[in-house]
Chains A and B, each alone.
Chain A
């Protein structure tokens, strides 16, 4: 409700995260409004008036203390609701790894993104892989695994429209998943400071329906394009393999 008014929901779990955000807003918003109301009404009601001395209350009297203790019941209850929902969403997005239809490799470095798409054979690390810089192509309604790597310092693969974020760590390959649900072009940001070019790592995410995506794959696969381009992407692969 709140988040999708400023940003589209483009993955299967985006709506879950947005719902969690809405529920938290409600569950913290109501206590906040009550506390603020009490706060401001006390300030104005107990403004200094001549002839009305302040009360002497130690804060150990049951009649007053019980109000403080009672307030813990809803707070704990709200905490439990938020924890359960948050852990559920977290489990789906980060802990669980559903079967994938396809896998892409995402490689971050100072200061560019390299995306390796499987070619027509839909298998990574074969001769028909398509390597692009700063442009990731995926098909709608297809479940992807991403294999995230960093070549130098920490980076973070962040796709706000997917509500997806994952740090990339040199020396590790981190696997996660997403499933696009909305065709269109979206932004990718680096979300972990990575040096002076950190602000210059925008990449584009292009989600197309399956037929269009298949056509893009066929058109760009190094096995089906001119030799010059093939050399370029082959040398890119050699460079990556040499790492």
Chain B
């Protein structure tokens, strides 16, 4: 296992030494280098995040100030509103969380952290990004077709999603499901690559328990994704057939069943939460150990809880469907499995908190993000218990309480986890240090408004406010002055938070252009990527691939003089 197996490298990728000068398009447009593909995913994901954030701004403005002419969008009509919330959800999960957390960090970190010169299948990797880019173009283009973008929510329940006479977005619906299906194909290709590379291309001496946690997590996430996505891909094709070829898989008038889609969707949809969660907790493990100079508390415990959570996540999907018209007896089973997930997740959180114990903590920007992840995700986790309890979900289902709950899970995952990883590996990616003061300013101006957006929404949800309604003025119980105040607080906080991202982009560009040089290992970290040059050249270690001698988190080891012990340093 320790030997690297030259699979596709032999013919397709032999010029690692940089003997021949690559053209601009070879290097940046159609690259085979895992780092450049990672950057393509990263910046496409960030671009989509800006779009998804803008959509949130547009519909939150409508909710806070109904009927207003939203600057940058115009009046938000009911059709606009549905298209905006649908696209916001779809984009943030499929075109932001997935590409950034799995594809960008997976592509960038896996070869570097396991001491390989590249992915095992670089051309599959390139194809994966190209399909992903195509899917992103399709979802954005759907706003400009006749009828506009699909507006049936990111869950796309039929018959609304399958019949144009009900959704009024015949072309938009098909483009939505086509884009989602293509995105799945892209991540299947990427996942094959991640798993194969991590299992076969590790540096000599790197045993299974010497693999950094973030690599493990991306591998487990890829396995979960591969196991869960099949049913939904099949469902997606059935949906497309229903829409365009007149089949009736989900049409109750002709013998189909709309609930079937819900099962296919959530059988994928719930593991999907853990598909994006695991890479984020992996990033947090790596960042926390570096900035507390501590060995990860219970390496195998973290791994086993991740696997346990992943396995359990396949047994809980119908908790999204308690009141959907399934056999009510089924709810009892799914309540038990859902609450059981609290055991491994709580263990994982405890282990992370225990890692801080006895540490020597410095509050650099990446560490602030990692710590914020733990605290905010804790809130997301405990509020899930309210919804997993079937009796309580009768009331809470499809309210803003649900919305606030999953934003407290997805936001720490997709935004906080990404910022932790991005600021941590920025010196490696670009060879420059980011400005720490600007980073901290950006951190606080993101994290405080984030809480001020979603804490009020818990209250509104508890008061019975349902989701996906474009104007609450039509509901006397929901248009009380204090409720409108909370909606405005959430919207204004969102505007502050979105504005604060300008600090981030300024910091990235400024640091990239003129930041102080980072050197190979600015954080004094012990994993292998920090032994390569910053940024690593094509082939990562032109001088020869590293050999691994120990685990990834040997910080403050009593037998070693320095407070970190690089994995490649002979004993």
Q: Is B481 interfacial (CB-CB < 8 Å)?
A: no
Can you name the residue of chain A whose Cβ is closest to the Cβ of B344?
A: A72
- Answer whether A154 and B357 are a contact pair too, CB < 8 Å, given A54-B555, A189-B469: no
Cβ contact within 8 Å between B166 and A189: no
Contacts of B357 in A (CB 8 A): 42, 46, 55, 57, 64
Per the bound structure, the CA–CA distance linking A153 and B85 in Å amounts to 19
Q: Is A95 interfacial (CB-CB < 8 Å)?
A: yes
Per the bound structure, the CA–CA distance linking A68 and B474 in Å amounts to 50
Interface 9-mer from A121-129, A157-165, A219-227: A157-165
Q: Is A195 interfacial (CB-CB < 8 Å)?
A: yes
- Answer whether A174 and B325 are a contact pair too, CB < 8 Å, given A48-B361, A86-B392, A165-B398: yes
Per the bound structure, the CA–CA distance linking A65 and B304 in Å amounts to 15
Identify A46's interface contact among B259, B298, B361, B464, CB under 8 A. B361
Select the residue from A161, A191, A200 with max chain B CB neighbours within 10 A.
A191
Interface 9-mer from A31-39, A98-106, A209-217, A229-237: A31-39
Identify A153's interface contact among B160, B259, B329, B371, CB under 8 A. B160
Can you name the residue of chain B whose Cβ is closest to the Cβ of A18?
A: B395
Contacts of A16 in B (CB 8 A): 391
Per the bound structure, the CA–CA distance linking A16 and B468 in Å amounts to 27
Q: For residues 22 through 43 of chain A, which have their beta carbon under 8 Å from a beta carbon of chain B? A: 24-25, 27-29, 31-32, 35-36, 38-39, 42-43
- Answer whether A64 and B347 are a contact pair too, CB < 8 Å, given A17-B392, A85-B391: no
Cβ contact within 8 Å between A199 and B295: no
Nearest CB in chain A: distance from B333 CB, A: 10
Select the residue from B295, B394, B474 with max chain A CB neighbours within 10 A.
B394
The number of A-B residue pairs with CB atoms under 8 Å apart is 286
- Answer whether A59 and B354 are a contact pair too, CB < 8 Å, given A46-B361, A110-B166, A163-B395: yes
Q: Is B350 interfacial (CB-CB < 8 Å)?
A: yes
Band of interface residues on A: 35 or more
Contacts of A172 in B (CB 8 A): 252, 325
The proximity string for B residues 431-464 relative to A, scoring 1 for CB distances below 8 Å and 0 otherwise, is 0000000000000000000000000000100111
- Answer whether A53 and B293 are a contact pair too, CB < 8 Å, given A79-B339, A87-B332, A187-B477: yes
Cβ contact within 8 Å between B462 and A6: yes
The proximity string for A residues 66-105 relative to B, scoring 1 for CB distances below 8 Å and 0 otherwise, is 0110011001100100110111111001110000000000
Cβ contact within 8 Å between A90 and B335: yes
Cβ contact within 8 Å between A171 and B296: no
Contacts of B362 in A (CB 8 A): 48
Identify B354's interface contact among A3, A64, A171, CB under 8 A. A64
Nearest CB in chain B: distance from A168 CB, A: 8
